[in-house]
Structure 1
Protein backbone atom coordinates (compact mmCIF):
# COMPACT_ATOMS: atom_id res chain seq x y z
CA UNK A 1 0.00 0.00 0.00
CA UNK A 2 1.19 3.47 -0.86
CA UNK A 3 1.30 6.15 1.80
CA UNK A 4 0.09 9.56 0.69
CA UNK A 5 1.11 12.69 2.61
CA UNK A 6 -1.18 15.51 1.52
CA UNK A 7 -2.91 18.71 2.47
CA UNK A 8 -6.19 18.36 4.36
CA UNK A 9 -9.69 18.41 2.92
CA UNK A 10 -12.86 19.37 4.75
CA UNK A 11 -13.98 15.75 4.35
CA UNK A 12 -11.10 14.76 6.70
CA UNK A 13 -12.51 16.54 9.76
CA UNK A 14 -14.55 13.58 11.04
CA UNK A 15 -11.59 11.18 10.77
CA UNK A 16 -9.25 13.72 12.40
CA UNK A 17 -11.76 14.22 15.21
CA UNK A 18 -12.04 10.46 15.81
CA UNK A 19 -8.25 10.10 15.82
CA UNK A 20 -7.74 12.93 18.31
CA UNK A 21 -10.59 11.74 20.53
CA UNK A 22 -8.89 8.34 20.78
CA UNK A 23 -5.91 10.08 22.40
CA UNK A 24 -8.16 12.08 24.71
CA UNK A 25 -9.86 8.91 25.98
CA UNK A 26 -6.85 6.62 26.26
CA UNK A 27 -3.62 8.59 26.78
CA UNK A 28 -1.96 11.56 28.38
CA UNK A 29 -0.43 12.62 25.07
CA UNK A 30 -3.02 15.40 25.06
CA UNK A 31 -4.28 17.09 28.20
CA UNK A 32 -7.70 17.61 26.70
CA UNK A 33 -10.16 15.75 28.93
CA UNK A 34 -13.48 15.88 27.06
CA UNK A 35 -13.88 14.58 23.50
CA UNK A 36 -14.60 16.98 20.66
CA UNK A 37 -17.51 17.00 18.26
CA UNK A 38 -16.86 17.42 14.56
CA UNK A 39 -18.36 20.91 14.81
CA UNK A 40 -15.90 21.86 17.57
CA UNK A 41 -12.94 20.49 15.61
CA UNK A 42 -13.97 22.43 12.52
CA UNK A 43 -12.78 25.68 14.13
CA UNK A 44 -9.40 24.05 14.86
CA UNK A 45 -9.25 22.72 11.29
CA UNK A 46 -10.07 26.08 9.73
CA UNK A 47 -7.09 27.89 11.23
CA UNK A 48 -4.65 25.97 9.02
CA UNK A 49 -3.37 27.37 5.74
CA UNK A 50 -1.47 26.05 2.72
CA UNK A 51 1.34 28.50 3.48
CA UNK A 52 2.43 30.34 6.57
CA UNK A 53 3.18 29.25 10.09
CA UNK A 54 0.08 27.16 10.78
CA UNK A 55 0.06 24.11 8.57
CA UNK A 56 -1.54 20.69 8.60
CA UNK A 57 -0.54 17.56 6.69
CA UNK A 58 -2.51 14.32 6.48
CA UNK A 59 -1.21 10.76 6.16
CA UNK A 60 -3.52 8.58 4.11
CA UNK A 61 -3.09 4.84 3.62
CA UNK A 62 -5.46 2.85 1.40
CA UNK A 63 -7.90 5.76 1.40
CA UNK A 64 -7.97 6.03 5.21
CA UNK A 65 -6.63 8.93 7.29
CA UNK A 66 -4.02 7.34 9.56
CA UNK A 67 -2.32 10.41 10.99
CA UNK A 68 -1.51 14.07 10.84
CA UNK A 69 1.19 16.57 11.70
CA UNK A 70 0.53 20.21 12.44
CA UNK A 71 2.07 23.49 13.47
CA UNK A 72 0.09 25.96 15.53
CA UNK A 73 0.49 29.16 17.47
CA UNK A 74 2.79 28.71 20.46
CA UNK A 75 1.40 31.63 22.48
CA UNK A 76 -1.07 34.41 21.71
CA UNK A 77 1.25 37.39 22.27
CA UNK A 78 2.62 38.90 19.04
CA UNK A 79 6.30 38.52 19.98
CA UNK A 80 5.83 34.73 19.83
CA UNK A 81 4.54 34.79 16.24
CA UNK A 82 7.69 33.30 14.67
CA UNK A 83 7.58 30.32 17.04
CA UNK A 84 5.21 27.38 16.51
CA UNK A 85 4.16 24.31 18.45
CA UNK A 86 4.25 21.12 16.43
CA UNK A 87 2.24 17.93 16.92
CA UNK A 88 1.96 14.53 15.32
CA UNK A 89 -0.83 12.02 15.91
CA UNK A 90 -1.10 8.55 14.38
CA UNK A 91 -3.74 5.89 14.37
CA UNK A 92 -2.35 3.21 16.74
CA UNK A 93 -2.31 0.65 13.91
CA UNK A 94 0.00 3.01 11.96
CA UNK A 95 2.74 3.11 14.62
CA UNK A 96 6.17 1.76 13.76
CA UNK A 97 5.82 2.18 9.99
CA UNK A 98 7.74 5.44 9.55
CA UNK A 99 4.56 7.44 8.97
CA UNK A 100 5.29 9.91 11.77
CA UNK A 101 8.75 10.45 10.29
CA UNK A 102 7.30 11.17 6.84
CA UNK A 103 4.70 13.52 8.27
CA UNK A 104 7.26 15.46 10.31
CA UNK A 105 9.67 15.63 7.38
CA UNK A 106 6.91 17.18 5.22
CA UNK A 107 5.80 19.60 7.94
CA UNK A 108 9.29 20.77 8.89
CA UNK A 109 10.30 21.15 5.24
CA UNK A 110 7.26 23.36 4.65
CA UNK A 111 7.97 25.43 7.77
CA UNK A 112 11.60 25.95 6.69
CA UNK A 113 10.31 28.11 3.82
CA UNK A 114 8.17 30.27 6.11
CA UNK A 115 8.87 33.04 8.62
CA UNK A 116 9.33 30.55 11.48
CA UNK A 117 12.31 30.85 13.77
CA UNK A 118 11.72 27.98 16.22
CA UNK A 119 9.50 24.92 16.50
CA UNK A 120 8.52 23.57 19.93
CA UNK A 121 7.01 20.30 21.08
CA UNK A 122 5.66 19.44 24.52
CA UNK A 123 5.82 15.72 25.27
CA UNK A 124 4.04 14.19 28.25
CA UNK A 125 6.40 11.84 30.06
CA UNK A 126 7.03 9.02 29.60
CA UNK A 127 6.88 8.83 25.81
CA UNK A 128 10.15 7.43 24.43
CA UNK A 129 8.78 7.03 20.89
CA UNK A 130 7.83 10.71 20.61
CA UNK A 131 11.13 11.82 22.14
CA UNK A 132 13.03 9.66 19.63
CA UNK A 133 11.04 11.09 16.72
CA UNK A 134 11.74 14.66 17.77
CA UNK A 135 15.41 14.00 18.41
CA UNK A 136 15.68 12.42 14.95
CA UNK A 137 14.68 15.80 13.54
CA UNK A 138 17.12 17.78 15.68
CA UNK A 139 14.80 18.87 18.48
CA UNK A 140 16.69 19.42 21.74
CA UNK A 141 15.30 19.23 25.25
CA UNK A 142 14.96 22.61 26.91
CA UNK A 143 13.38 21.57 30.19
CA UNK A 144 10.63 19.80 32.04
CA UNK A 145 7.48 21.27 33.52
CA UNK A 146 6.93 19.09 36.59
CA UNK A 147 3.41 17.86 37.33
CA UNK A 148 1.96 20.50 35.02
CA UNK A 149 -1.12 18.53 33.96
CA UNK A 150 -3.63 16.35 35.81
CA UNK A 151 -5.35 13.58 33.92
CA UNK A 152 -6.60 10.12 34.86
CA UNK A 153 -6.32 11.00 38.54
CA UNK A 154 -2.63 11.90 38.64
CA UNK A 155 -0.16 14.61 37.69
CA UNK A 156 2.11 14.37 34.64
CA UNK A 157 5.40 16.01 33.65
CA UNK A 158 5.86 17.55 30.21
CA UNK A 159 9.29 17.81 28.60
CA UNK A 160 9.70 20.64 26.11
CA UNK A 161 11.82 20.37 22.99
CA UNK A 162 12.87 23.04 20.50
CA UNK A 163 14.33 23.13 17.02
CA UNK A 164 15.78 26.10 15.15
CA UNK A 165 14.36 26.46 11.64
Structure 2
Protein backbone atom coordinates (compact mmCIF):
# COMPACT_ATOMS: atom_id res chain seq x y z
CA UNK A 1 0.00 0.00 0.00
CA UNK A 2 3.09 2.23 -0.01
CA UNK A 3 2.54 5.52 -1.80
CA UNK A 4 -1.26 5.28 -1.85
CA UNK A 5 -1.98 7.48 1.18
CA UNK A 6 -3.16 4.65 3.42
CA UNK A 7 -0.67 5.44 6.21
CA UNK A 8 -1.53 9.13 6.09
CA UNK A 9 -5.26 8.43 6.26
CA UNK A 10 -4.81 6.02 9.19
CA UNK A 11 -2.58 8.25 11.29
CA UNK A 12 -4.79 11.30 10.75
CA UNK A 13 -7.82 9.20 11.74
CA UNK A 14 -5.95 8.10 14.88
CA UNK A 15 -5.02 11.62 15.99
CA UNK A 16 -8.50 12.95 15.21
CA UNK A 17 -10.07 10.17 17.30
CA UNK A 18 -7.60 10.83 20.12
CA UNK A 19 -8.37 14.56 20.07
CA UNK A 20 -12.08 13.80 20.30
CA UNK A 21 -11.63 11.19 23.05
CA UNK A 22 -9.54 13.45 25.23
CA UNK A 23 -5.97 12.11 25.62
CA UNK A 24 -3.58 15.02 25.98
CA UNK A 25 -0.47 13.27 24.66
CA UNK A 26 0.28 10.54 22.13
CA UNK A 27 3.77 9.01 22.13
CA UNK A 28 5.58 6.58 19.88
CA UNK A 29 9.03 5.09 19.37
CA UNK A 30 10.34 4.30 15.88
CA UNK A 31 13.60 2.74 14.70
CA UNK A 32 15.86 5.55 13.38
CA UNK A 33 16.27 4.04 9.93
CA UNK A 34 12.49 4.07 9.38
CA UNK A 35 12.56 7.61 8.01
CA UNK A 36 9.27 7.22 6.17
CA UNK A 37 7.41 6.44 9.41
CA UNK A 38 9.09 9.31 11.24
CA UNK A 39 8.13 11.71 8.43
CA UNK A 40 4.57 10.37 8.41
CA UNK A 41 4.21 10.97 12.14
CA UNK A 42 5.61 14.48 11.77
CA UNK A 43 2.94 15.32 9.18
CA UNK A 44 0.37 14.35 11.83
CA UNK A 45 1.78 16.79 14.37
CA UNK A 46 4.30 14.59 16.19
CA UNK A 47 7.60 16.16 17.15
CA UNK A 48 10.88 14.41 17.85
CA UNK A 49 11.89 14.56 21.50
CA UNK A 50 15.08 12.57 21.25
CA UNK A 51 16.92 9.35 20.63
CA UNK A 52 16.62 6.58 23.18
CA UNK A 53 19.86 4.63 22.93
CA UNK A 54 19.92 0.86 23.34
CA UNK A 55 16.39 0.90 24.74
CA UNK A 56 15.42 -2.63 23.76
CA UNK A 57 16.43 -5.79 21.98
CA UNK A 58 15.11 -6.70 18.55
CA UNK A 59 16.16 -10.08 17.12
CA UNK A 60 18.94 -10.25 19.72
CA UNK A 61 20.41 -6.83 18.88
CA UNK A 62 20.20 -3.80 21.15
CA UNK A 63 18.37 -1.06 19.26
CA UNK A 64 17.92 2.70 19.50
CA UNK A 65 14.55 4.32 18.93
CA UNK A 66 13.48 7.84 18.01
CA UNK A 67 10.99 9.09 20.61
CA UNK A 68 8.14 11.24 19.24
CA UNK A 69 5.20 12.96 20.91
CA UNK A 70 2.01 14.72 19.81
CA UNK A 71 0.00 16.96 22.13
CA UNK A 72 -3.51 18.23 21.57
CA UNK A 73 -3.82 21.79 20.37
CA UNK A 74 -6.10 22.73 23.28
CA UNK A 75 -5.49 22.38 27.00
CA UNK A 76 -6.89 19.27 28.70
CA UNK A 77 -9.92 19.77 30.90
Name the TM-score class by shorter chain.
Answer: 0.7 to 0.9
- Matched with 1:150 is 57
Q: What CA RMSD, in Å, does the superposition of the two structures yield over aligned residues?
A: 1.2
Taking the TM superposition and a 5 Å limit, the aligned residue runs for 1:32-47 are none
Counterpart secondary structure, 1:116: coil
Q: How far did residue 152 of structure 1 move?
A: 2.6
Confirm or deny: 8 A CA contact 1:148 1:158 kept in the other structure: yes
Matched, 1:107 2:7: no
Provide Cα deviations, 1:65-85, integer angstroms capped at 9, x if missing partner.
xxxxxxxxxxxxxxxxxxxxx
Under a length normalisation based on structure 1, what TM-score does the superposition of the two structures give? 0.41
Q: How far did residue 107 of structure 1 move?
A: 1.3
| Larger-Rg structure | 1
Q: Which runs of 5+ in 1 are unaligned?
A: 1-93
Q: How far did residue 130 of structure 1 move?
A: 0.5
Q: Which runs of 5+ in 2 are unaligned?
A: 73-77
Taking the TM superposition and a 5 Å limit, the aligned residue runs for 1:64-143 are 94-143=1-50
Confirm or deny: 8 A CA contact 1:125 1:156 kept in the other structure: no
Confirm or deny: 8 A CA contact 1:144 1:158 kept in the other structure: yes
Provide Cα deviations, 1:31-83, integer angstroms capped at 9, x if missing partner.
xxxxxxxxxxxxxxxxxxxxxxxxxxxxxxxxxxxxxxxxxxxxxxxxxxxxx
Q: How far did residue 142 of structure 1 move?
A: 0.8
Q: How far did residue 122 of structure 1 move?
A: 0.7
Higher RCO structure, 1 or 2 (CA under 8 Å, sep 6+): 2
